[in-house]
Structures are given as structure tokens and as C-alpha cells.
Structure 1
């Protein structure tokens, strides 16, 4: 088969479409014939040499895919050759085929195009595991989402609104109208406005109950300042750096908490549990049309370098998909 390899770390031009060995399904695995994958920030970091795949994962980028089951390994039940699926991956989505632990497979939701389904697994699992399982967002609470125009952001807006939360997002001003259409109650232009002041203003001084943060160090102090009493900050990205000083007295005063999580490196049984939660609690919202994949554009997988440049620019809204066939 062919896959997008990275012979040497570097810029988008480091991605090379090359012939590689075909995957074989091990016990408990399914091989998916890929129809589409999606570009995530982690793929850019892997290309640059900063985020190697976990042990045993394919060397190629791609943390999610959609396609058709092509082979089923020993001990797998509930999945059949020819079935349309999407999958959460530890790597390998930028390829014609990929072997996936059966616990990380999801059926394509009713009403969703097979290619567009590639936009769902990573964002759905990330948002559900952090916003619901970890931070316990409740109806009537306020959710602050940073990077509202990203794949994570556009999904979190819809999902948070579906849970009955008031969603506040930070994003470039040009994206605000579309984000309000997705369910954001309030939008903040992070280039011109102080999100701490804006969150306090729209919550009558109370602050955000849950913050989903992709920035990390550069936002840490302001995120804590923006939390309500009993608030929960969940850091899922480090676009703003890795190290910052945390004022514990501010956390203590608010009885607040800070957590940091990653999805890719979790054990298989934990990923399978998250996927089950997504299938039970998120997929019905997708199938009813309350939550939908937001796709900026589709590009051929051989144009992955162009897709990486687009995501690096942050000019997109939602997911950028890479397609085969």
C-alpha cells in the first residue's frame, strides 16, 4: 500500500507519499480500507519531529479515519468485512489501509457521509472525555472554549450547547458569525479583547465553570482568573507553550481544579471506554443532526502538505480532510 511517510522531520515538504508494507490485523484488530483521514495539530508536531507515535503505532501521521472494514483479526466480534466505519487511531490514518484495535471503531453515524465521518472520532473522543467524563459539565453551566474555529472548537461548541451549557468561545473575529450559528452564545476576539473580562461580563462576574484550553502555558494564569468558584480547567494543548507559573492560592480560593490530558497515549482499554461513551452519548446527537461534523474542505491525501500549511495558518474553520479514491 501507500502511506504518507516522514523520512526526515521538517516542514510540510517533509511529507512523502511512498510505498510501505500492508498492515495485517493482529488479534483483536480490524484493518480499515481508508477513504479519508483528517489533519490534527498533533500531525503537524509529528511531522516536525516533536510528537512521535506511541510504541506499536504506525509511523505515519493521522489520528482518525473513515473507511470500510477490509479484514477482521482473531477474536473480533461485531464487525464485518464491508462495513462502513470510522476510527480513533494512535497513528497511520494518512494511508490506504490501517490496522485498528476493534475497541476504537465506531459505526458511521446515520445521515453522515462516509468521508465526512473522518472528521468525528478524534474531536468527539477528545471533547466527550474531557468535558463530560473529566470536567462533568452540567446543564446551565458556562463552558469557555479556546480556539473555537478549530475542529475541537467547532465540535465543543455544538456539544456544549446540546448539553444545555452556555458556550463562550475565543476565535478570530472573521469566524464569529459561523461560531454563533453553531451554538456559541458569546464570541471573544482574542486579538482585541481580554477573554477574562468578557467571561466575567457575560456571567455577571461569576466566571466559567469549565474551560477547554488548547493554549497551555500562555493562558494558564488568565484561565485560572476566568474560572468560577468550583471551576474546572482542562488543558488539552500547548500551542502557547509548555511551562508557566501556577498560583495555587488562586485555585484554593476558588476551590478550582486544573487537569491536563492527552488522548493518543492512553492505554487501549481506556480508549475503548471513551469510544463506548462517545457511541452511547454523542452518536445519538450526531444522528439527530444536533451535532454535525464541520468540514472546511476536502483535499486529496497526496496534497497533505497543502493541508498542513492551511492548518498551520489557522485560516480554516472546522476540519481539513484528506481523501482517497
Structure 2
């Protein structure tokens, strides 16, 4: 039994994704098999293409229909619509995943767009847990950097849903309107030399309580934006190096820096994140108070183009790969 998938192949001293026939993965008793409808593209997929062995299929999240369930799975049924985080393999017709990695999708949520929900939401949740479930978020302000990319567009919406005041920053005032649409209270241009001063001014000269950044390239300014005992949360370093920081400044502010990296964590941790997020965040998805922002769509046979586009680091929203291997019968939905 085989299926079609996009796998890594050698090509002139580099690895690229190409279509191949591969074995359908075997399903264990605590797993389900999903017929994949679409898969979200993430920066960790780029790292996988660079570091993984030939023949590996990337893809860390997907949406689709449950096709089969293991004998120990009682919480899911064949035919249910779901999205899921994965250990890889999402750029394929079918994927096998632990039952604890799934999230439900009602009929009125777009199944294609939902492919971009699970990984970003699970990446954000540990930081939001630190702020909100620990009951430390009353009248608190969060600075969310790069407010228009896929993960931070969701972060703005989730933060507002949980009751935080949101300052969103982007590299251009042209994108402020998008951040306001997601619910941001204040938008600032972090390419400005006066960015830190503007943040401090907007917070009554105290600084923000929390900073959420996707990477650590601007760590010192993030600390500068914090108030005393503020916290900087880094979501997925993706192998990026951070700039040096002034430890005396960090000590003086008594600030904390925490890094959350979803792909490197074990199965138990990921299952616990899914369970917590399903309780605290997923109701906002089910009631459409929070939505995924899709920037670009590709057919699965163009998955390499999708990764190359993400490398440009200029995305405004998520990139979705639609699991269709027969181009002639498929038309991508236009936003």
C-alpha cells in the first residue's frame, strides 16, 4: 500500500522536495490516520529540509478527515474533521498521528485554512499560559513583534481574547491597519530609531509587562521595552543566533527571558499543550473570534516553492500547501 508524498531528494549538492510514492505509515493502537486536506508551512520545515535525511517528508501540521482509528482510541471517530500538530510527514496524502495531537473542527470552519492553526497556536500557548493562566495578566500590556506574520497575527487575537492590552509592532506603517483588524490596541514601527521610546511613552513611561517575539534577533531592544520585572518570551529560535545583550541592564530590570520551542519537545509535552490549548484557546476558534490569516496558497507539488517563499521572511500570514497531486482538477481558492 503506497501513497504520494513530497520527500527530500539529492539534487546537485543540495536537497529539494520532489513527489514520490512511499509506504503508507503503519498506525499504532493509540494513533489515528488522517486523509490530509492541507498542510501549513513553518520555518521548522525549512530546517528539516536542510538537516533531515534523504527520503524524509516534512510538514508539522495539517488538516483533514479521520480515515482510521487505533483500537485504543475512543475519543475520535472515522469521518471527523480535524487539524493536528505532527512529528513530520504532513506533505503527504495521509499521515498517522497520536490521538492526543488532534483538535476538532466543526463544519462551518474552512478545512483548508485550518491547516495553519495547530502549530502556531501550540507554539504561542506556553507563553500565554505564563501570562494568563497564572493569573498575572490583569491590566497587563503585551508587545507582539512582527504582528502581521502568521503566528503573531494569531497571537494578537489570542491575547485580546484573554484580556491583555496589545501593542503590535511591524516594519512599516503600511501594515498597521492589518494589526488593528486583528485587534491590536496600538501599532508601532519597530524600524524607527525611537521605537523603544515610543513603547515606553505609550505605556505611561513604565514599559510593557510582556514581549512576545518570533526569534531573538532584537533581544536587547525587547528587554529595553519591558518594565521592571517584565518578561520576554521567544517562540522558536529556529537555529537563529541572538545578538549579545547587556547583562547589567537585564539584572537592573530584573527581567526574565524564556524560550519556547515546540518541535524539540517530547510527545508528552506536546499532548499536554494540546489539552491545555483546547480548554483555554480553542473555544475562540470554534466561535470564530480568532481566525487564521492566510497569505499564500500552493499545490503540494509546489511545496519547494512554498518553502523558498517563506525563506524570504516577508510573509504576511500563513502559507498553506493544498494536498492535491492532480493539478488539472484543482483550483486554489483566492483570498
Q: What TM-score does the superposition give when structure 1 sets the normalisation length?
A: 0.90
For the pair 1:62 / 2:59, whether they are aligned, the reply is: yes
Aligned to 1:104: 101
- Partner Cα distance (2:208, 2:107) in 1: 34
* Consecutive unaligned residues in structure 2, runs of 5 or more: 325-335
Mean CA deviation greater in 38-47 or 2-11: 2-11
Aligned to 1:314: 313
- Partner Cα distance (2:236, 2:268) in 1: 23
Mean CA deviation greater in 4-13 or 19-28: 4-13
Aligned to 2:146: 147
SS class of match (1:14): strand
SS class of match (2:74): coil
1:21-52 alpha-carbon deviations (Å, 9 max, x no partner) = 11111131111110000111111222233xx4
Residues 225 and 36 of structure 1: CA distance in aligned 2, closer, same or farther (over 3 Å): same
- Partner Cα distance (2:288, 2:11) in 1: 40
Mean CA deviation greater in 141-150 or 109-118: 109-118
- Name the Cα RMSD after superposition: 2.4
- Partner Cα distance (1:140, 1:25) in 2: 47
Shift of 1:193: 4.5
For the pair 1:30 / 2:27, whether they are aligned, the reply is: no
Count of residues in Structure 1 that have an aligned counterpart in Structure 2:
318
Residues 125 and 187 of structure 1: CA distance in aligned 2, closer, same or farther (over 3 Å): same
1:255-274 paired onto structure 2 within 5 Å? 255-274=254-273
Residues 194 and 40 of structure 1: CA distance in aligned 2, closer, same or farther (over 3 Å): farther
Aligned to 1:294: 293
For the pair 1:78 / 2:75, whether they are aligned, the reply is: yes
Q: What TM-score does the superposition give when structure 2 sets the normalisation length?
A: 0.87
For the pair 1:19 / 2:24, whether they are aligned, the reply is: no
- Partner Cα distance (2:111, 2:14) in 1: 27
Aligned to 1:277: 276
Q: Is the 8 A contact 1:110 1:287 kept in 2?
A: no
Q: Is the 8 A contact 1:143 1:211 kept in 2?
A: yes
**Higher Rg of the two aligned structures:** 2
* Consecutive unaligned residues in structure 1, runs of 5 or more: none
- Partner Cα distance (1:276, 1:262) in 2: 17
Shift of 1:109: 4.5
Q: Is the 8 A contact 2:123 2:236 kept in 1?
A: no
Shift of 1:182: 0.7
1:48-107 alpha-carbon deviations (Å, 9 max, x no partner) = 33xx49xxxx93211110001112123112111111111011211111111101110111
